Chain A
Amino acid sequence: METIKLTIDNKQIEVEKGTTILGAARKLGIDIPTLCHMKLDDLNIENKPGGCRICVVEVHGRRNLSPACITKCDDGAVIRTHTPRVMNARRTVMEFILSDHPKDCLICPKSGHCELQDMANRLGIREIPGQEIAEMSTYRKDTSPSIIRDLDKCIMCRRCEMMCNEVQTVGAIGAFNRGFMAAVGPAFEQNLEYSPCTYCGQCVAVCPTGALTEVDHTRDVLRAIVDPYKVVVVQTAPAVRAALGEEFGMKPGTLVTGKLVSALKELGFDYVFDTDFAADLTIMEEGTELLSRLGKFLKGDKNANIPILTSCCPGWVNFFEHNYPELKDVPSTAKSPQQMFGAIAKSYFADKIKVDRKNMVVVSIMPCLAKKYESQRPEFSVDGNPDVDFSISTRELAHFIRQANIDFVNLPDSDFDRPLGESTGAGVIFGNTGGVIEAAVRTAYELFTGKKLSRLDFSELRGMEGVRQATIDFDGFPLSIGIAHGLGNARKLLDEVKAGRSKFHAIEVMACPGGCIGGGGQPLHHGDSSILKARAKAIYEEDKNKPIRVSHENPYIIQLYKEYLGEPNSEKAHHLLHTHYFDRKAKIVVKP
C-alpha cells in the first residue's frame, strides 16, 4: 500500500494514496460539512457527485477552493478546512441553494430530520440576499401508493439516483433536463406509478431534504381508532423493535419490543399483535413448499422450480415482476408475513372474536414503504375490503407516539396479545438479511431429516456481504443456499437462475441493504452504516432470548393449523396464505 503524508489544519496525517481530502480529514476527526456526499462503509455505497460545493477547502498553492469529497490528497499537501475564505464561500453556496428552496419548513415532513435545515443552521444563515428577485424552480407533486415526490425541495444531490440505479439497478429515476430546469424523476417525467419503481424506498431513506417522503397514513389510523364501531388490530414487523428507539434518542441497536407494545396499547389499538407470528406461519408454508419442490427436484423433475426464491419482500416481488416476469413461477407462492397476518386476522381471528371483517381495521407497522403498495394490491382484498387496511412506517409510528405525548423512553414493558402475538426466534430474524432463510432452514431441517437440530445459530448465513452462499448439511444432503440483499445483488443471482446456471436450491432476497433493518421506512441513518450493524445485532439478540426458536414449535401456530387450516399447503392454506405474480414488464407497442 502506497501512502502519502499531508497536513490538514496543522495536523499531520499519513493516508493511503487515492484517499480524498474528506476521508483524510475524517480520520483526523475534522468535520468538514457535506451535503450531497454520502458513504455507507460496509456496503460499498458512496455518492460523491461533487455537486453541492459545501465541502470546499483551501489547498495551499491552488488558486481555487477544492471540493473535499472528490479531491484526492497530494503528497505534502497543506490544507485548511475552515479559513475565513472557506467560510465565506460555504455561506454563499448555501445562500444560492436556499434561494431556490421552499421555506415552508413548519409543515415539511422532513422538518427536524432535514440535512439542509441542519446545514443552514450550522452555517448560520439568517437571510438570503436577493431573495425578492431570485427565481424559484417549480415542479408538480407526484403521489404514488408509497412515495411522494416534491421536487421543489430537491437540491440535486443525486443520492436517490445513485441508490435507484447503482445499488438497486432498478432504473426508475434519473436526472433530466439541464441547468435550472434539471430535476430527477422517471423517464418522460411520468409519475412514479408508471415507472419500474419497486417502492423499496431507498431513495427516501437517503434523501437529505423533503423532496422524497413516504405517504403518511397516521391520520387514517387515528380516525379508525376514534371510530367506536371499528376493532383496530395492529401488527409490528420484526425490524421495527430494533430501530424505533433511535427516534427517541436511544442508542442504535436498543431493543424496545416491550415499550413498543405498551405504546401501541396507549395509542388505543384494540389488539396488539406481532408480524413475527405471521413470519412463523410463512416458514410453515414456505418451508413445506421448499421440501415439496426439493422432493420433485431430487426425483429428476426438470420443472420443480428449484431454486425456490423467497417472497416475503414486496420490493423484491415488484422487482422480479418488472424485470424477470419469465421467472414468475420460481418464487415461493407464500404471501409475505404482512399479508398472511391480514388474511388470518380477518378470517380466523375475526371469527374467533365474532367481528365482521368489514368492521375490523388491520394496521401494520413496517420498516418498509413497499408494504404500503403491497397492502393496496387488489388480490389482497375480499370484496374490496383489504386484508391490511393501512401500513405505516417506523418513522410514522414515532411521529404518532410523539403526538400522543407518550414518554416512550420511560414506558414499562408489555407483552403482545394472544393468539396472534406469540412468536419464535425464527420469526424475529426475518428482519435481517439471511434471516428468512435461516428460519426456513431451522424448520425444514427438522421436517426433512426428522431429527432435532444440534445448533440453531447458522453464522454462515449471516453477515453484511451483498451476495453470500452457504451449504447446510441436511443429514447427508448438502442444501445449497444463496442470499442477496440490495436489488443489484439480487439481479446477479437472478441472471444465473434465468440462464439455468444457478447452483442453489434456495435463494433469499431482500430489497434493502442489510435487509428490513435498513428498510426505506426506518429512522434515517444519514449515511452511518454502524447503525445498521447495531440493529442487526439487536435482532439476533432477541432471537437468542426467545424460549422457542423454531417456527413449527410455536404453540399458537400449531393451534391455528389444528383449528382452522388443517396442514401446511392445504387447500385452505393455499386460499388464504398463497398468491401468484404478474408480468409487469414495460411493453413496447408495435403497430400490426
Chain B
Amino acid sequence: MSSIKIELRQQDVDKINEICDSFNNEPLELINVLHKTQEHFGYLPAEVQEVIASKLNISTAQVYGVVTFYSFFTMTPKGKHPISICMGTACYVRGAEKVLDEFKKELSLQVGQTTPDGKFSLSSLRCVGACGLAPVVLVGDKTYGRVAPDDVKAILKEYA
C-alpha cells in the first residue's frame, strides 16, 4: 500500500459524490470519474477510492485494480513541480535515460516518488510529440528540449 493515510473532510466526500453524480453513478464511467477526481485532489489515495467505490456501488478492489493498471493514475501526491522525462523512442535513443539518472541522483528519488518537502516529483512518460527536441523534459507545464545530463542542475535551480 503506497498511500498516505488521510482522513477525508466532509467537503472532500461531497466533492467526490458530486463528481460521481455528474456521471450518473454509472460504474462503466469509472475511468472518467477517476480522471476528474485526480484532477481535483492531485492524486487518488485509498480513502478517496473507497468513497468512489461505495458511491458507484462497485468493490474497492475493482477501483484499486483500475487505478494501478493505468500509469496516469497515482496514489502518491505529485510535487509542486512535477518533472516528467520522455522515454519515447526518439528521446530514448538520444540519451533520455542518462538524463533521468541524473534527476534521480540530484533529487535522490525514484520514478513515481515525491521529495519529502513536496517540491518535486519524478515520472517518466512515453512521447510528448516533440521528437524534434529530443530528449525532452517537462517541469509542470514548461518544456525543455535537447536536455543533456549536465543541464539538470541548472533546470532544478530555476525552481529552488
List A residues at the B interface (Cβ < 8 Å).
Answer: 165, 170-178, 185-190, 195-196, 586, 588-591
Contact = CB atoms under 8 A, between A and B. Distances in A.
A177 B69 contact: yes
A591 B68 contact: no
Contacts of B7: 589-591
B64 A174 contact: yes
B15 to A, nearest CB: 13
A589 B45 CA distance: 13
A499 to B, nearest CB: 15
B9 A586 contact: no
Contacts of B49: 187-188
Nearest to B49: A187
Nearest to A190: B1
24 contacts: A165-B59, A171-B59, A171-B61, A171-B62, A172-B59, A174-B59, A174-B61, A174-B64, A174-B65, A175-B65, A176-B65, A187-B50, A187-B53, A188-B1, A188-B3, A189-B1, A190-B1, A196-B59, A586-B54, A588-B51, A589-B8, A590-B10, A590-B13, A591-B7
Contact of B8 (A165, A177, A591): A591
Nearest to B64: A187
Interface of B: 1, 3, 7-10, 13, 46-47, 49-51, 53-54, 58-65, 68-69
Contacts of A588: 8, 13, 47, 50-51, 54
Given A171-B58, A189-B1, A590-B10, 17 more contacts: A171-B62, A175-B65, A176-B65, A176-B69, A177-B68, A178-B68, A187-B49, A187-B53, A187-B60, A187-B61, A187-B63, A187-B64, A190-B1, A588-B51, A588-B54, A590-B13, A591-B7
A590 B64 contact: no
A344 B61 CA distance: 40
B47 A187 contact: no
Contacts, number: 68
A359 to B, nearest CB: 44
Nearest to B46: A188
For the complex of A and B, the 3 pairs showing the least CB-CB separation, nearest first, are A171-B59, A174-B61, A187-B60
Identify whether the interface residues of B are mostly helix, strand, loop, or mixed. Answer: helix
A21 B64 CA distance: 34
B31 to A, nearest CB: 15
A590 B54 CA distance: 14
Nearest to A591: B7
Contacts of A185: 61
Contacts of A187: 46, 49-50, 53, 59-61, 63-64
Contacts of A173: 61
A165 B9 contact: no
A589 B13 CA distance: 10
A196 B62 CA distance: 13
A170 B50 CA distance: 15
Nearest to B71: A178
A589 B10 CA distance: 10
B47 A178 contact: no
B50 A586 contact: yes
A3 B49 CA distance: 47
Nearest to B51: A588
A591 to B, nearest CB: 4
Contacts of A590: 7-10, 13
A188 B59 contact: no
A115 to B, nearest CB: 24
B51 to A, nearest CB: 6
Contacts of B59: 165, 170-172, 174, 187, 196
B51 A586 contact: no
A195 B8 contact: no
A186 B61 contact: yes
B8 A176 contact: no
B47 A589 contact: yes
A186 B1 CA distance: 11
Nearest to A592: B10
B56 to A, nearest CB: 12
A174 B50 contact: no
B40 to A, nearest CB: 17
Contacts of B1: 188-190
Contacts of A178: 68-69
A173 B62 CA distance: 8
A318 to B, nearest CB: 15
